[in-house]
Amino acid sequence: MSASAKLPRWAERGLLPLINLAAALILSGVVVKILGESPWAALKLLVSGALGTQEGIGYTLYYATNFIFTGLGVAVAYHAGLFNIGCEGQAYVGGLGSGLVALWLGDRAPLLVVLPVAIMAGAAFGAAWALIPAWLQARRGSHIVITTIMFNFIAASLMTYLLVNVLIKPGQQSPESREFGANAFLPAAHELFAKIGITFSPSPWNLAFAIALLAAALVWVLVWRTRWGYALRVAGQNQSAAVYAGISPSRIIIQAMLLSGALAGCLGLNELLGSQHRILIDFPSGAGFVGIAVALMGRNHPVGILVAAVLFGALAQGGSQLAFDLPKINRDMVVVIQGLVILFCGALENVFRTPLAKLWPGRLARSPQPSGGMPVPR
Amino acid sequence: MVEKSVAPALELRAIDKRFGTVHANRSLSFAVAPGSIHGLIGENGAGKSTLMNIVYGFHRADSGEIYVHGRRVDLGSPQDAIRAGIGMVHQHFMLVENFTVLENVVLGVEGGALLAGGLARARRELEKLACDYALAVPLDTVVSELPVGLQQRVEILKALYRGAQILILDEPTAVLTPQEADALFNMLRRLRDEGKSVILVTHKLREIMAITDRVTVMRQGVIVGEVVTATTSPRELAEKMVGRAVLLRVEKKLAQPGATLLAVRDLEVRDRLGVARVKGVSFDLRAGEIVGVAGVSGNGQSELLEALAGIRLPTRGSITLQHHDLVREHLGPRERRALGLAHVPEDRLRMGVVTNFSAEDNAILGYHDRAECTRGGWLDRAAIRKACEGKMAAHDVRPPLPSLRIAAFSGGNQQKLVLAREIDVDPRVLLVGQPTRGVDIGAIEFIHKKLVALRDAGKALLIVSVELDEILGLADRILVMNAGEIVGELLRADATEEKMGLLMAGVKSEGPA
């Protein structure tokens, strides 16, 4: 049988990721044990650190916001058949756009003006950063994986140059811009909750989370409910069929990458306007890459991406708690756990799929029968 | 009995195989006598391929036993099958295109880390085989430079070199001219006379009748009959395959061609490497006629069809439809559809459908921006479903479930849906590539009837098919292509298989009859 055995939908979308996650955690536990700490205590710390307190939850959702933006970015490109590795760079440059708007308008205009302009600037800068790889792919056939990776490095160098030489606040050593005007600060969740009489511990969780949810809804509508989304999915699934249907794959490539970059570019709203209130070096800190894992685990569906983003947010937050409380474990352990989750959810997905599929023999009937063509030898 | 003393070359006992709830093979038993050609015939999805894949070790049977020359064998992989003396020639050749014939033959059985010794041994062996079975092939030619017929010969040599006593051929004539097919059959007869056993898997009744000694008929996973070929007829076999009486040829009235709807002049199409694939082709397509384009696969028909549909850009010439020169005005597939040109592509799975999409999403492919499917920029899901239900009912697509993934439908039902999509928009001109490729007999009958009905409704149809029977059965006028040129034009009444075979092989006729 082919590698992708069919499962019932709930098992495919719920059970399988959970099993993969459990496997990743068990293996992480082994690593923790080797390091000389108790895996059970570590797990408890991880979970309680991420979800045990209001502050923890706030941090989890704050991290998740970044991952939603980049995860959606990866997913949109994926539906067009493109593997956008460049969300890190697009988020970085997009954040520059939002940050510049915040610097410019932060003490001149109210938030109601700053925010829409900052969103547009972030999206535009992110999209622009994706445009060149997209154009190269569409017109010249340069592989998008290669070009977007390279553009991550270019973005990093460009931003370092700008921060060190141009944007740096005069008279200081660290390459950071001056603080934004207060009107460019996105309200934090605990402030918004306070207005309606709910007390919530302070955390960097902010309005950008709501924008991320809106973006997720928008992506769903766009991909599954519009003509453009139909064309996008046709081109992503089968280029020949797209040409046959009168859909230009190269146009779709460019449009999808623009949208992908725009979504990733919104990360600066959360990170800069929502939390740091200045432009600083390496603020995406890997969220672009985590977005790949998030999209993968969320099956490139907005709902799945939300769930996966929260999971990775919890890992990030719980992991830093772990590093804080257990002396033998440092922040790199979080990267190890993330890596294992990616490994099991992405690369090793079929390890559990096939045995699981055997539990549902009946469901196989709906998969295509092996008629005519030769199966690929195992 | 004689059969008592000589064990069958291959014997299957009670082979059973399920894929989930699909019972692909139900307790199948049959035997192939040594030195015989055994036909295995059945519709798509009857379980032929599954059975042969079990014999060749790709699948493992859930239960049942396989005996080779009376010895029980356990075939867990193709290597096991090869060791047991079973060779298989696949429909799609498994050759490394940029290796020479010799390198292809020794691939996997090089016999040592250094190539030289193995190659020399193989060369001696192959020269002997070529001599024994009249299977001459230039050993040092790169495979991609060989014509298809010879590539197939390389596959047969590969199997024989590995010591095959039992040779399985899966739809071997799909890519051959009638003359090449005859050569293949002579080769197979020779192999049989040398004591080899041949299993011929096909859906072509004519071939079964021409060459096999016995034939086994499969339907829905069971064997519904096994007969000595000499005692049966194509009609009887077809009925066994389908389970009811079938029309092997559509009945139709004489065509009443009307005005010219599509005019093609001096059309030239080059491929990516700049090689001319269609060389100065001109013809007219008139209302109320079916023009068939015949030819061996790969002689420019596909490129011609794609150029007409707007998928490939011609380098020269004109295509006129509705007073528009489609070439000069750079009209793409979308604009051509708007002018009433519909297209059922040759390769359904590569181009005609998106396999991961539902039936209803596939039913709007190419028409997704039409008013019927949309409200503003939005897809009108309810309307799309309703339209798909209508198409499924009108074209007997089973099961009639618009939300089911298209890949879960049989080839015939997929094709009926594609056809429904292209017919439903009421086109002026319909281009159809391989109308019934991978389609079961029952559906073939249905599709052919639909096409003739379209013709009678005054549409112009261009049908490209590598199945001679299909062209002869449907077309009112036949264009034969060879090496990118139209080498002959025949009216149906004047066309015979022999004439067309010669034209397909490149022997030019003296002009339109």
pLDDT computed for residue A373 by the predictor: 36
Cβ of B311 under 8 Å from any chain A Cβ? yes
| Chain A neighbors of B49, CB-CB under 8 A | 370-374
Number of helices followed by number of strands (H, E) in chain B: 17, 22
**Pair B373, B501 in one domain:** no
pLDDT for residue B364: 93
Taking a C-beta distance cutoff of 8 angstroms, is the pair A287, A71 a contact? no
With contacts defined as CB-CB under 8 Å, which chain B residues touch A367?
A: 19-20, 407-408
Q: What is the mean pLDDT of residues B347-358?
A: 91
What structural domains and CATH numbers belong to chain A?
54-325 (1.10.3470)
Residue type, A306: L
Q: Which of residues 421-480 of B touch A (CB under 8 A)?
A: 438
Q: Tell me how far apart the alpha carbons of residues B484 and B296 are, in angstroms, rounded to a whole number.
A: 11
Tell me the nearest-neighbour CA distance from A249 into chain B, angstroms: 12
Which residues of chain B have a CB within 8 Å of the CB of A227? Answer: 368-369, 373-374, 377-379
Structural domain includes residue B4: no
B217 and B307 part of one domain:
no
Residues 352-381, chain B, touching A (beta carbon < 8 A)? 352-357, 361, 364-366, 368-369, 373-374, 377-379, 381
Per this entry, what is the length of chain B? 513
B1 lies in a domain? no
| Gap between the Cα atoms of B272 and B270, Å rounded | 7
Nearest to A219 by CA among A340, A83, A75: A75
Q: Is the CB of residue B401 less than 8 Å away from at least one CB of chain A?
A: no
Our count of domains for chain B comes to 3
pLDDT of residue A14: 77
Contact between B368 and A230 using a beta-carbon 8 Å cutoff: yes
Q: Which residue has the tokens 């790199």?
A: A332
Q: Do A368 and B407 touch (CB under 8 A)?
A: yes
Sign for the CA dihedral angle at B214, B220, B222, B224 comes to negative
Helix (H) or strand (E) holding B2: helix B2-5
Q: CA–CA separation, A191 vs A198, rounded Å?
A: 9
Amino acid at residue number B409: F
Whether the CB-CB separation of B187 and B135 falls below 8 Å is answered with yes
More confident of the two residues B24 and B34:
B34
Low-confidence ranges of chain A (pLDDT < 50): 1-4, 362-378
Residue B511 has pLDDT above 80, yes or no: no
Asked if B352's CB is within 8 angstroms of A244's CB, the reply is yes
What is the Rg, in whole angstroms, of the alpha carbon atoms belonging to chain B? Answer: 24
Query: Chain B window 163-222: which residues touch A at a Cβ cutoff of 8 Å?
Result: none
Give the sheet arrangement for strand B460-464, strand by strand.
B341-344, B429-433, B460-464, B289-294, B477-482, B485-491
Does one domain contain both B152 and B222? yes
Asked whether the beta carbons of residue B351 and residue A240 sit closer than 8 angstroms, the reply is yes
B356 burial (CB, 10 Å; 0-12 / 13-18 / 19+) is middle
**What is the percentage of chain B residues whose pLDDT exceeds 90?**
44
SS3 A365: helix
Q: How far is A225 from chain B (nearest CA, A)?
A: 5
A362 in B contact zone (CB under 8 Å): yes
- What pLDDT, on a 0 to 100 scale, did the predictor assign at position A280? 93
pTM of the predicted model as reported, rounded to 2 decimal places? 0.79
> Is B232 part of a structural domain of the chain?
yes
* Residue B110 vs residue B419, higher pLDDT: B419
Orientation angle between helical segments B178-193 and B497-504, nearest 10 degrees: 100
From the CB of residue A116, how many other CB atoms can be counted at a distance below 10 Å?
Answer: 11
Residue B5 is assigned to a structural domain of this protein:
no
Q: Is A364 on the interface with B (CB under 8 A)?
A: yes
Residue B392 reports pLDDT greater than 50: yes
pLDDT by residue (tens digit) across B96-135? 888 999 888 888 777 777 777 788 888 888 888 888 777 7
Q: How do beta strands B477-482 and B289-294 pair?
A: parallel
User: Are residues A241 and B311, on separate chains, in Cβ contact within 8 Å?
Assistant: no
A chain contacts of residue B352, beta-carbon cutoff 8 Å:
241, 244
Q: Which residue has the higher pLDDT, A347 or B25?
A: B25
Within this chain, do residues B28 and B95 fall inside the same structural domain, yes or no? Answer: yes
Q: Does residue B507 sit in the same domain as residue B448? A: yes
**Which helix (H) or strand (E) is B281 found in, with range?**
strand B276-286
- What confidence category does residue B152 fall into, taking pLDDT thresholds of 50, 70 and 90? confident
Question: Which sign does the torsion angle of CA B480, B486, B488, B490 carry?
Answer: positive
Which among A147-161, B366-380, B491-505 has the top mean pLDDT? A147-161
A324, HSE (Cβ side, Cα atoms, 13 Å): 10
| Structure-block tokens of residue B73 | 């064998």
Q: Are residues B358 and B229 in the same domain?
A: no
Residue by residue, DSSP assigns A19-35 as HHHHHHHHHHHHHHHHH
Longest dimension (CA), chain B: 77
Q: How many CB pairs under 8 A join A and B?
A: 127
Cβ–Cβ gap A233/B357 under 8 Å? yes
**CB distance A320 to A331 below 8 Å:** yes
Band of residue B202 on the pLDDT scale cut at 50, 70, 90: confident
Cα–Cα distance, B101 to B167 (Å, whole number):
19
DSSP one-letter string for B115-180: HHHHHHHHHHHHHHHHHHHT----TTSBGGGS-HHHHHHHHHHHHHHTT-SEEEEESTTTTS-HHH
Distance CA B289, CA B260 (A): 10
Choose the mutation target among B49, B367, B405 for the interface with A, i.e. most A CBs under 10 Å.
Answer: B49
Q: Report the chain B residue with the minimal C-alpha distance to residue A372.
A: B49
What Rg do the C-alpha atoms of chain A give, in angstroms?
Answer: 22
Closest among A31, A107, A117 to A319, alpha carbons compared: A31
Q: For the domain that residue B86 is a member of, what is the CATH number? A: 3.40.50.300
DSSP state of B60: -
Residue B245 main-chain phi, psi, to 5 deg:
-65, 135
CA distance B199 to B239: 22
- CA dist list (Å): A151 to A69, A93, A133, A148: 19, 10, 8, 5
Q: What's the confidence (pLDDT) of residue A343? A: 84
Q: Give the domain-ending residue among B196, B219, B242.
A: B242
Give the distance from CA A204 to its chain's centroid.
Answer: 18
Which range of residues forms the domain containing residue B382?
348-426
Q: Say yes or no: B305 and B222 in one domain.
A: no
pLDDT at residue B289 is higher than 60: yes
pLDDT score, position A341: 81
Chain B residues inside the 8 Å CB shell of A374: 49, 53, 58, 90-92
Q: Out of A134-143, A228-237, B51-60, B242-251, which region has the weakest mean confidence (pLDDT)?
A: B242-251
Closest CA of chain B from A373, distance in Å: 8
Tell me which DSSP letter residue A364 carries.
G
Average pLDDT over residues B494-510: 78
Q: How far apart are CA B315 and CA B306, in angstroms?
A: 13
CB atoms within 10 A of CB B439: 24
The confidence score (pLDDT) of residue B198 equals 94
Chain A residues near residue B378 by CB distance under 8 angstroms: 225-227
Do B392 and B360 share a domain, yes or no? yes
Indicate whether B328 and B432 sit together in one domain.
yes
Nearest alpha-carbon partner for A251 in A165, A146, A131, A145: A131
CA proximity to B367, closest of B331, B306, B420, B403: B420
Q: Tokens at residue B132, please?
A: 């024994």
Worst-scoring range by mean pLDDT, A293-307, A356-370, B154-168, B219-233?
A356-370
Whether B167 is covered by a domain: the verdict is yes
Whether residue B79 is contained in a domain is answered as yes
Domain boundary among B214, B242, B270: B242
B162 to B64, B81, B155, B478: CA distances (angstroms): 26, 11, 11, 43
Query: Which residues, other chains included, contact A231 with Cβ-Cβ below 8 Å and sequence gap of 6+?
Result: A242, A245, A247, A252, B368
Phi, psi of B51 (to 5 degrees): -60, -45
Q: In terms of domains, do B182 and B257 share one? A: no
Enumerate residues 5 to 34 of chain B having a beta carbon within 8 A of any beta carbon in chain A: 18-22, 24
- Check whether residue B265 and residue B133 sit in a common domain: no
Residue position matching structure tokens 């490095």: A153
Residue A299 contacts B where some CB pair is shorter than 8 Å: no
| Amino acid letter, B203 | H
Q: Out of B186, B220, B242, pick the residue that ends a domain.
A: B242
The answer to whether A141 faces chain B, any CB pair under 8 Å, is: no
Domain for residue B22, yes or no? Answer: yes
Region label for B433, one of left (φ > 0), alpha (ψ between -120 and 50) or beta (otherwise): beta
In the predicted model, is pLDDT for residue B265 greater than 80?
yes
With CA atoms as reference, report the closest residue to A224 among B69, B408, B384, B49: B384
The answer to whether position B2 is within a domain reads no
Let me know whether B211 and B183 are in one domain.
yes
Nearest to B333 among A227, A245, A374 (CB): A245
Q: Which residue has the tokens 């022999």?
A: B498
pLDDT of B107 reads 83
In angstroms, rounded to a whole number, what is the distance separating the alpha carbons of residues B407 and B269?
32
Q: What is the mean pLDDT of residues B446-450?
A: 91
pLDDT of residue B512: 46
For B11, the 3-state DSSP assignment is strand
